[in-house]
């Protein structure tokens, strides 16, 4: 049986107006008993939004009703959480509608890459990623498809798939090498617990940030070492599993001990931390590793530059078409063979 969806198009929060959509067969008949006007007549006669009164449990709310079709109604009510929630609850209960996530709903409505890009645009967290998505709203992806520039589009998959979803970068290494301190230095504020005793970060802590305008989530992993502590063991197992799922790993090595874990997987960047403790002394074991100090901040800017270079070796120029959903990338791969 087809269901009627209730969609809150306006995100929760304070606002002047809030818009709800009732979408599905029989939407108009469901809402009719709650209204002081006849929506069937409305649809037949006017086709433009009109003021109406909607009966809620304890009050009558003035709304603007837009009967787009008998199966698609838009209810614009006063903004603010309390009134929107009351209207939504009434529509949900009295009309038997199922609450649907607005972004999922908009994507189902999307009948072209432009409308799909428009639905995803609010989920882009940085100006850089939003600008690239805006190019797709303007048809950049569609034009590249029309010109059959399949290989060119595929070469931008990694960028396109990270406009909404962040790149994931793990900070990994032995306990006490300065992973949490380095992550904090990269983000610029204290987010991860730093402690002198080994094994403080037992779970993975995820910090969302922007590096050169790219949305990145930095994962502070538990120090990877042999341990008998049950809770820490669990954290170590989780950390090793996490390293399989990231786009890049920053392998942190304490320059004063030069000890390494063998759990790091490529692609990775090696950094020698605590370089403030050894001055200019060259490392014989890791001559090419980047030297940083989480305490003084030395080398951190260069580390960020290298991380970004590895995640996005080439930036798209304005107007470049990029595929921005996994379905698009899979369809492109299918067309290439």
Ligand X SMILES: Nc1nc2c(ncn2[C@@H]2O[C@H](COP(=O)(O)OP(=O)(O)O)[C@@H](O)[C@H]2O)c(=O)[nH]1
Name the residue number minimizing CB distance to ligand X.
Answer: 178
CA 18/CA 157 separation, integer angstroms: 35
Q: CA 5, 1, 91: angle at the middle one, nearest 5? A: 30
Maximum CA extent, the chain: 85
Q: Which residues in the 153-182 window bind ligand X by CB under 6 A?
A: 175-181
Which residues of this protein are in contact with Mg ion, per CB under 5 A? 179-180, 201
Q: Which is nearer to ligand X, 170 or 294 (CB)?
A: 294
CA 191/CA 206 separation, integer angstroms: 9
Residue 274's binding partner, choosing from ligand X, Mg ion, none, with beta-carbon cut-off 5 to 8 A by kind? ligand X
328 binds ligand X (CB under 6 A): no
Work out which of 295, 304, 306, 310 binds ligand X, going by CB under 6 A.
295
The stretch among 70-78, 126-134, 189-197, 258-266 that binds ligand X (CB under 6 A) is 189-197
Q: Which is nearer to ligand X, 181 or 328 (CB)?
A: 181
Q: Which residues in the 199-218 window bind ligand X by CB under 6 A?
A: 200-201
Tell me the closest approach of the beta carbon of residue 35 to Mg ion, in angstroms: 58
Tell me the closest approach of the beta carbon of residue 287 to ligand X, in angstroms: 19
Residue 176's binding partner, choosing from ligand X, Mg ion, none, with beta-carbon cut-off 5 to 8 A by kind? ligand X
Judge contact between 336 and 150, C-beta under 8 A.
Answer: yes
Residue 102's binding partner, choosing from Mg ion, ligand X, none, with beta-carbon cut-off 5 to 8 A by kind? none
DSSP string, 175-200: TTSSHHHHHHHHHTS--S---SSTT-
Residue 240's binding partner, choosing from ligand X, Mg ion, none, with beta-carbon cut-off 5 to 8 A by kind? none
Contacts of 281 (CB under 8 A, 6+ apart): none
Judge contact between 321 and 141, C-beta under 8 A.
Answer: yes
Q: Which is nearer to Mg ion, 52 or 182 (CB)?
A: 182
Q: Which residues in the 254-293 window bind ligand X by CB under 6 A?
A: 273-274, 276-277, 293
CA 265/CA 217 separation, integer angstroms: 18
Bridge partners for 53 per DSSP:
62
CA 221/CA 190 separation, integer angstroms: 16
Residues that bind ligand X (CB under 6 A): 175-181, 194-196, 200-201, 223, 273-274, 276-277, 293-295
């Amino acid at each position: 049986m087809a269901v009627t969806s209730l969609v809150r198009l306006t995100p929760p929060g304070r606002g002047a107006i809030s818009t709800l959509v009732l979408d599905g067969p029989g939407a108009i008949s469901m809402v009719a008993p709650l209204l002081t006007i006849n929506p069937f007549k409305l649809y037949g006669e006017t086709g433009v939004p009109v003021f109406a009164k909607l009966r809620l449990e304890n009050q009558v709310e003035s709304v603007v009703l837009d009967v787009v079709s008998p199966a698609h109604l838009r209810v614009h009510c006063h903004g603010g959480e309390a009134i929107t929630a009351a209207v939504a609850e009434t529509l949900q209960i009295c009309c038997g509608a199922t609450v649907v996530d607005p972004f999922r709903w908009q994507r189902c409505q999307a009948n072209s890459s432009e409308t799909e890009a428009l639905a995803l645009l609010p989920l882009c967290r940085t100006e850089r990623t939003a600008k690239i998505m805006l190019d797709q709203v303007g048809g950049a992806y569609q034009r590249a498809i029309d010109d059959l520039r399949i290989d060119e589009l595929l070469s931008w998959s990694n960028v396109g798939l990270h406009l909404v979803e962040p790149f994931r970068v793990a900070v990994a290494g032995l306990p006490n090498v300065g992973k949490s301190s380095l992550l904090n230095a990269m983000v610029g504020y204290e987010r991860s617990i730093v402690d002198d005793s080994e094994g403080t970060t037992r779970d993975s802590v995820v910090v969302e940030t922007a590096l050169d305008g790219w949305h990145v989530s930095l994962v502070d992993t538990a120090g990877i070492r042999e341990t008998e502590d049950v809770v820490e063991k669990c954290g170590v197992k989780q950390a090793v599993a996490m390293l399989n799922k990231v786009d890049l790993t920053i392998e942190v090595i304490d320059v004063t001990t030069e000890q390494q874990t063998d759990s790091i997987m490529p692609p990775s960047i090696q950094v020698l931390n605590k370089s403030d403790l050894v001055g200019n002394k060259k490392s014989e074991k890791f001559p090419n590793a980047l030297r940083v100090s989480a305490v003084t901040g030395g080398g951190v800017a260069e580390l960020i530059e290298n991380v970004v270079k590895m995640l996005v070796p080439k930036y798209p120029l304005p107007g470049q078409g990029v595929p921005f959903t996994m379905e698009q990338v899979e369809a492109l791969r299918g067309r290439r063979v």
